Amino acid sequence: MTRIVSFLPAGTEIAYALGAGTLLVGRSHECDYPPEVAHLPVVSRPALDLDGLSAGDMDRAVAERLQGGESLYLVDEGLLRALSPDVILTQDLCQVCAPSGNELTRAVRDLPGSPRVVWLSPQTLEGIEENILAVGEATGTSRAAHALIIENRERIERVRNAVAGASIRRVAFLEWLDPIFAAGHWVPEMIGLAGGHDPLGKAGAESLRVTVDAVRTGAPEIVVFAPCGYRLEQAVELGSHLPAFPGATIIAVDANAYFARPGPRVAEGIELLAHLFHPDRFAWPHRSRPWQVLAGYIR
């Protein structure tokens, strides 16, 4: 039986979505969905204690450590060796998101059996699909991977049809507070499919540090606040410190569930944006309510 260790929350979600969750034997400290993963041994932890720091202090602490050539994560090499994985899921996209590069290469180098390392580093929605296929191939669940991609495409097409012909919403999608970061990677594509446009967002590129004035110049109707690594409750708390954006509805969302983790719930994230942008055209089809209006109202 294949033994999988996941250093990446999105990888863990993909494995479970494909029916390979029972093959997981270890996880990162950030892998928290689905809830069943809680019982798995934790193979990586943060090297920095950021509890109690402001958004700006967090950014500075992370930047200082990276500039010093140090990793943001500590890998439990002894536990990793004991778990003896056949497959390791990780990423090489963002040093802040999960172990990557040198620290993981060093940890894997001396493992017995030379486990297969599957790098999940998408820049676009197409890249997310490729990742799902890669996990499917590595875990013997390729048929489920193809089925998941087809299902997500069908859901996205329903959104596209629902918002077709609607006025394009002017959007600012913010991924951090201090400094402010505009969305990159796959998020601008999600916004476009949901009937919005973020002039600051760069599809397929890194998230971009921007000024408050730049956001205001775009005259957004809707500001979506999705701080990377945060769930809804944390986003609401941090969002209370956002500057004013006159005329805009400000909405905090669950970034971890729908935007920061490029995994199987990407279609649901597009559905969420479509409902926030065009509630008269697309009803939220799920029981959960992963958003909260912080200012203004949804027109």
Higher pLDDT pick, 27 / 62: 27
Q: Is residue 251 part of a domain?
A: yes
Q: Is residue 158 part of a domain?
A: no
End position of a domain, from candidates 94, 121, 148: 121
Q: Are residues 91 and 22 located together in one domain of the fold?
A: yes
Q: Is residue 257 part of a domain?
A: yes
Higher pLDDT pick, 179 / 296: 179
Q: Are residues 114 and 9 located together in one domain of the fold?
A: yes
Question: Rounded CA gap, 89 and 237, in Å?
Answer: 32
At residue 98, the pLDDT reads 47
Q: Are residues 285 and 205 located together in one domain of the fold?
A: yes
- Mean pLDDT in residue range 1-18: 95
Summarised one tens digit per residue, pLDDT across range 242-251 is: 999 999 999 9
Q: Are residues 174 and 104 located together in one domain of the fold?
A: no
Q: Is residue 53 part of a domain?
A: yes
Mean pLDDT score of the chain, rounded to an integer? Answer: 90
Q: Are residues 169 and 288 located together in one domain of the fold?
A: yes
Residue 20 DSSP label:
-
Q: Are residues 98 and 194 located together in one domain of the fold?
A: no
CA angle, 226 then 102 then 203, to 5°: 35
- Mean pLDDT in residue range 52-61: 65
Q: Is residue 237 part of a domain?
A: yes
Instruction: Decide if pLDDT at 106 tops 80.
Output: no
Based on the structure, what is the number of domains in the chain?
2
Q: Is residue 144 part of a domain?
A: no
- Mean pLDDT in residue range 277-285: 97
Q: Are residues 113 and 196 located together in one domain of the fold?
A: no
Question: Rounded CA gap, 154 and 254, in Å?
Answer: 23
Q: Is residue 127 part of a domain?
A: no
Q: Are residues 92 and 198 located together in one domain of the fold?
A: no
Give the structural domain span for 287: 165-295
At residue 24, the pLDDT reads 98
CATH of residue 219's domain is: 3.40.50.1980
Residue type, 8: L
Higher pLDDT pick, 168 / 64: 168
Looking only at the bridges linking them, the beta strands covering 169-176 and 180-182 are antiparallel
Residue 165 φ/ψ region, left for φ over 0, alpha for ψ in the -120 to 50 degree band, beta for the rest: left
Question: Rounded CA gap, 86 and 5, in Å?
Answer: 8
Summarised one tens digit per residue, pLDDT across range 224-266 is: 999 998 999 999 999 999 999 999 999 999 999 999 999 999 9
- Mean pLDDT in residue range 109-115: 76
Summarised one tens digit per residue, pLDDT across range 173-217 is: 999 998 999 999 999 999 999 999 999 999 999 999 999 999 999
Which is nearest to 113 in space by CA: 136, 145, 82? 82
Summarised one tens digit per residue, pLDDT across range 130-182 is: 999 999 999 999 999 999 999 999 999 999 999 999 999 999 999 999 899 99
Find which of 43-57, 76-90, 182-196 is predicted with most confidence, using mean pLDDT. 182-196
Q: Are residues 172 and 286 located together in one domain of the fold?
A: yes
Q: Are residues 112 and 18 located together in one domain of the fold?
A: yes
Q: Is residue 33 part of a domain?
A: yes
